[in-house]
Amino acid sequence: MDPRIPPEYVTQGVVVAPDAALSSHTTSYIRNSKAIASLWGIFTICFVILVVVIFVQPQWIGDTEDSRGTGYFGLWKHCVSLRPESGELICKGRVDDFATIITPAFRAATVFTGIGVAISFLCLAAMLLFFFVNAATVFHICAWMQLFAGICVLVGVLCFPAGWDAPEVRAVCGQNSGDFNLGGCGIRWAYLLACIATADAFVLATLAFVLGTRYIKMSNALEGLYSSSIYKGKRRNHQM
């Protein structure tokens, strides 16, 4: 084979025209990008479910075998046993009444995590724009939303431990508990899920930025290919 022929114009040992090679490459590029975009959409839906679960579940921290009392705590709701011998838990706290949230740190965590939940729903709604707006624009809009949602959830995760010195927490975790010190209690699954959701948001935002950039490049390649085809068609008509 002639070594002067660029390798991108060779497919399975067969020399193809530059336009055909570019068209084949662009088709493959589009297929791969759509597959990645579909996965991004699925994981975006999963992220929304995650943040809703961590917002409503009062299982951020809770008692262990070494705890003084019995109970568990979430962002705005907590359940404790007033009589350990009965094992009955009494739950308090309402998201629409901040006076029932036991510490300012828990209130701040509730606000920031709630904002993250709201932004994640807006991102989900923004995906409908794929039917009306350029895909690259939608990806960049969603990327910024996911970035801000991740930051808000992260702030909530960092604020929450500052409320572990509350009397209600110490009644369960012991007097050794304090800011960023759980004493006899332990981290529960909802808090770990919040950490995972934070990392997920940043990964999804990065992927959305990459997809938006790829779609811009893909649009430019398609435009160049289309313009080249029209130009060559006009030349052939002129020669005839």
| pLDDT: which is higher, 23 or 192 | 192
Which one, of 45, 53, 89, 88, lies nearest residue 74 by Cα?
53
Own/partner contacts of 59-62, CB < 8 Å, gap of 24 or more, are 59/188, 59/189, 59/190, 59/191, 60/160, 60/187, 60/188, 60/190, 60/191, 60/194, 61/164, 61/169, 61/173, 61/182, 61/185, 61/186, 61/187, 61/188, 61/191, 62/172, 62/185, 62/186, 62/188
Q: What's the confidence (pLDDT) of residue 214?
A: 80
Instruction: Using the Cα atoms of residue 29, residue 34, residue 36 and residue 37 in order, give the sign of their dihedral.
Output: positive
Lowest-confidence pick of 2-6, 136-140, 164-168, 186-190: 2-6
Residue 119, helix vs strand vs coil: helix
Asked if residue 149 lies in contact with residue 51, where contact means CB atoms within 8 angstroms, the answer is: yes
pLDDT by residue (tens digit) across 76-122? Answer: 999 998 776 666 889 999 999 999 999 999 999 999 999 999 999 99
Percent of the chain topping pLDDT 90: 64
The DSSP code for 23 is H
Please give the structure tokens belonging to residue 201.
Answer: 């948001």
Residue 238: pLDDT over 60: no
Q: Are 148 and 121 in contact (CB under 8 A)?
A: no
**Please, which residues have CB within 8 angstroms of residue 209's CB and are 6 or more apart in sequence?**
139, 140, 143
Each domain of the chain, given as residue ranges in start order, spans 43-219
Report the alpha-carbon distance of residue 153 to residue 123 in Å, rounded.
Answer: 15
For the segment 27-51, what is each residue's pLDDT rounded down to a tens digit?
665 677 788 889 999 999 999 999 9
C-alpha Rg value of the chain to the nearest Å: 27
What's the pLDDT at 23?
57
CA atoms within 13 A on the CB side of 178: 2
- pLDDT at residue 123, rounded to an integer: 96
DSSP string, 214-232: HHHHHHHHHHHHHHHHHHH
pLDDT in tens, 150-180: 999 999 999 999 999 999 999 999 999 999 9
Look up residue 183 and give its two tokens: 């004493």
pLDDT of residue 17: 47
- The one-letter code for the residue type at 25 is H
Residue pLDDT, tens place only, 180-231 = 999 999 999 999 999 999 999 999 999 999 998 887 666 555 454 445 444 4
3-state percent breakdown (helix, strand, coil) of the chain, nearest 5: 65, 10, 25
Q: Which conformational region is residue 158 in: left (phi greater than 0), alpha (psi within -120 to 50 degrees), or beta?
A: alpha
Q: Does domain 43-219 have CATH number 1.20.140.150?
A: yes
Using a cut of 0.85, tell me whether the model's pTM lies above it: no
